[in-house]
A and B are shown apart, each in its own frame.
Chain A
Amino acid sequence: MESILLLFTFVLAIFLGFELISKVPSTLHTPLMSGSNAISGITIVGAIIAAGAIGEGTISVVLGTLAVTFATINVVGGYLVTDRMLAMFKSKEGDKK
């Protein structure tokens, strides 16, 4: 039953994603990609659990630690570079501030 509920969540989230993303103007498509890339680093949650579950086997901890590293690069780098890009988008009125 649990997997059906997860599947249900998945399907609804896909629809929500389509609605949200189709409203993003093409001007912002590059920041959208790097920003959503950072969001896909959410896999860090699974990675942290695997890396912290010491005592359940060395291999899974090693794999988990590697996963934490990669996912963190993805998250930190993704958000920072998106912020750097979006900071450059200035309005005409913004110049006067």
Chain B
Amino acid sequence: MRESLTQIVYLSYILASVLFIFGLKMLSSPSTARKGNMVSAVGMLIAVLATLVHQDIIGYQFIIAGLLIGTAIGAIAASKVPMTSMPEFVALFNGFGGIASLLVGWAEYQRILTAGVDIPIATSLPIFLAILIGGVTFTGSLVAYGKLSERISGKPVLFGAQQVVNAVIMALVLVLGLMFVFRPETNYGSFIVVIILSGILGILATIPIGGADMPVVISLLNSYSGLAACAAGFVITNTVLIVSGSLVGASGIILTKIMCKAMNRSLTNVLFSGFGSVGSAKGADVQGEANPITPDDAYYVLESASSVLFVPGYGMAVAQAQHVVRELGEILEKNGAEVRFAIHPVAGRMPGHMNVLLAEANVPYEQLVEMDEVNPSIETVDVAIVIGANDVVNPAAREDESSPIYGMPIINVDHARTVFVLKRSLASGFAGVDNPLFFKPNTRMLFGDAKASIQALVTEFKES
């Protein structure tokens, strides 16, 4: 009886893993993605239900309490969070995943100690990894959350002996960790110290990273939260944890790679040098005359355009302009133009953030195109409208070798027939680099508040 029950539990875990895999597979298209997420959630439900009949479980009161409290907090948070705050939300939740894996490792260690049996290396090593990765993920995510939600300064925090301090802590973690791994029964003290040091390490690793690099950090922490679950899986020898944890770990690594490539920086560069704190290179001085345009004239150009490309940056979301932009897009489409939105990989504050913000404003996903998709045919675009984006359309990345952003892939809007740049003034972008795009002969500056400018264009169309 007991034997067959255990088998049913394990078969359910296989089913859950299959559902996770299918769920992720269905994320490959926006049309099936929502169902995919539900498939994955059903997998999780099956895994949880199967675990409840596990032979070691004697009392259910604490499980139910934890489930109820967690569900209440999770559900309220998920329904309240605005889409612009998604990066800090994901960061915080990564942290919760990390601390949960740490606690699982700790609880298992405690349980075996109480039982008074020997702990093999095959168990003590993953316990060490679970508390290390889990701890770093937890505090690192909290710092990322603080920076993204602007509760703490987004500026990189650098102090003199930082690298030395980090190296010393790492060495300590390693020594104490090894002591624990080989003698887990008698090294409770070093175990606790490793937990504390992991937490400190997470903070120290995240504070020197600037706000602009946060997309890389949350991708990386995403990966860590998966790896922590994996380690916890090795601790309790449970395959469903290992499989799901690896899927998440791989996902985070891929996203980290994409983000680094889009910023033309290596991971080590992101992690170990605060952006803007080192670069004194400003690039070649850009001189020239910017050509302003009035909404009136812009309207005439747009009216006769047959292909329009919006290039939104995070500034558009800050101005809450996505809804009027979508309205303008619809009007242009009715007017016979092909309308698309070109989205740079680092346009939002996390991978894919801008797409979510535009989807929230009811832009159909067919109109959202990637940089690599739009660049080869950008010469055929009549009007490219740049809203709240700057560095990601800066031709200096292509032309000026002395520019700090040289080599970063950009959307080549300067190759379009006409470019409208919506901007308050000629100030430089996030990276503090001048933008020669503003002075190109085919560029027209539409000065003023982005939302008001777009609104003015919409009104022009409606009145005609």
Chain A residues with CB under 8 Å of chain B are 2-3, 6, 9-10, 13-18, 20-57, 59-61, 63-92, 94-95
Q: A2-B237, A48-B48 are in contact. Are A21 and B254 (CB under 8 A)?
A: yes
Whole-angstrom CA separation of A28 from B358 in the bound complex: 12
Q: A42-B229, A68-B70 are in contact. Are A35 and B37 (CB under 8 A)?
A: yes
Q: Hey, which chain B residues are within 8 Å of A37, CB to CB?
A: 90, 93-94, 97, 222, 225, 248
Query: B223-249: contact bitstring with A at CB < 8 Å (1 yes, 0 no)?
Result: 001101110111111111111111111
Task: Choose one: A10, A33, A60; the contact of B350 (CB below 8 Å).
Answer: A33
Which chain A residue shows the least CB distance to B105? Answer: A46
Task: Choose one: B21, B94, B99, B365; the contact of A27 (CB below 8 Å).
Answer: B365
Asked if B63 and A68 make an inter-chain contact with CB atoms under 8 angstroms apart, the answer reads yes
Q: A36-B252, A65-B62 are in contact. Are A73 and B93 (CB under 8 A)?
A: yes
Q: A17-B249, A33-B90, A51-B66 are in contact. Are A27 and B352 (CB under 8 A)?
A: yes
Asked if B27 and A72 make an inter-chain contact with CB atoms under 8 angstroms apart, the answer reads no
Which chain B residue shows the least CB distance to A13? Answer: B246
From 41 to 97 in chain B, residues with beta carbon under 8 angstroms from any chain A beta carbon are 41, 44, 47-48, 51-52, 54, 56-60, 62-63, 65-67, 69-71, 73-75, 77-79, 81, 83, 86, 89-90, 93-94, 96-97
B94 to chain A, nearest CB (A): 6
Task: Choose one: B58, B60, B77, B245; the contact of A42 (CB below 8 Å).
Answer: B245
Q: A6-B237, A34-B86, A43-B101 are in contact. Are A89 and B41 (CB under 8 A)?
A: no
Whole-angstrom CA separation of A43 from B234 in the bound complex: 11
- Of the listed residues A45, A56, A69, the one surrounded by the most CB atoms of chain B closer than 10 A to its CB is A45
Q: Hey, which chain B residues are within 8 Å of A44, CB to CB?
A: 44, 47-48, 51, 100
- 15 pairs across A/B with beta carbons < 8 Å? A14-B246, A17-B246, A21-B254, A29-B352, A30-B352, A33-B252, A36-B226, A39-B44, A44-B100, A51-B66, A63-B107, A73-B93, A81-B77, A83-B37, A89-B34
Task: Choose one: A42, A48, A76; the contact of B54 (CB below 8 Å).
Answer: A48
Q: A44-B100, A59-B110, A91-B365 are in contact. Are A81 and B234 (CB under 8 A)?
A: no
Q: A46-B233, A64-B62, A70-B99 are in contact. Are A86 and B34 (CB under 8 A)?
A: yes
Asked if A41 and B75 make an inter-chain contact with CB atoms under 8 angstroms apart, the answer reads no
Whole-angstrom CA separation of A22 from B24 in the bound complex: 11
Asked if B96 and A71 make an inter-chain contact with CB atoms under 8 angstroms apart, the answer reads yes
Task: Choose one: A29, A41, A53, A72; the contact of B56 (CB below 8 Å).
Answer: A53
Asked if A43 and B228 make an inter-chain contact with CB atoms under 8 angstroms apart, the answer reads yes
Q: Hey, which chain B residues are within 8 Å of A95, CB to CB?
A: 364
Task: Choose one: A33, A40, A63, A82; the contact of B110 (CB below 8 Å).
Answer: A63
A2 to chain B, nearest CB (A): 6
Asked if A43 and B33 make an inter-chain contact with CB atoms under 8 angstroms apart, the answer reads no
A60 to chain B, nearest CB (A): 4
B122 proximal to A (CB < 8 A)? yes
Asked if B70 and A76 make an inter-chain contact with CB atoms under 8 angstroms apart, the answer reads yes
Q: Hey, which chain A residues are within 8 Å of B36, CB to CB?
A: 35
Q: In the complex, given contacts A56-B115, A76-B70, what are 12 additional A-B residue pairs having Cβ atoms less than 8 angstroms apart?
A: A21-B247, A26-B258, A26-B345, A27-B370, A28-B27, A33-B351, A43-B229, A45-B47, A71-B100, A73-B93, A81-B86, A92-B366
Q: Hey, which chain B residues are within 8 Å of A70, CB to CB?
A: 70, 96-97, 99-100, 103
B355 proximal to A (CB < 8 A)? yes
A79 to chain B, nearest CB (A): 4
Q: Hey, which chain A residues are within 8 Å of B54, CB to CB?
A: 48-49, 52
Asked if B364 and A42 make an inter-chain contact with CB atoms under 8 angstroms apart, the answer reads no
Q: Hey, which chain B residues are within 8 Å of A30, CB to CB?
A: 86, 90, 348, 350-353, 355-356
Query: B108-119: contact bitstring with A at CB < 8 Å (1 yes, 0 no)?
Result: 101101110000
Whole-angstrom CA separation of A83 from B37 in the bound complex: 7
Q: Hey, which chain A residues are within 8 Å of B348, CB to CB?
A: 30
A16 to chain B, nearest CB (A): 7
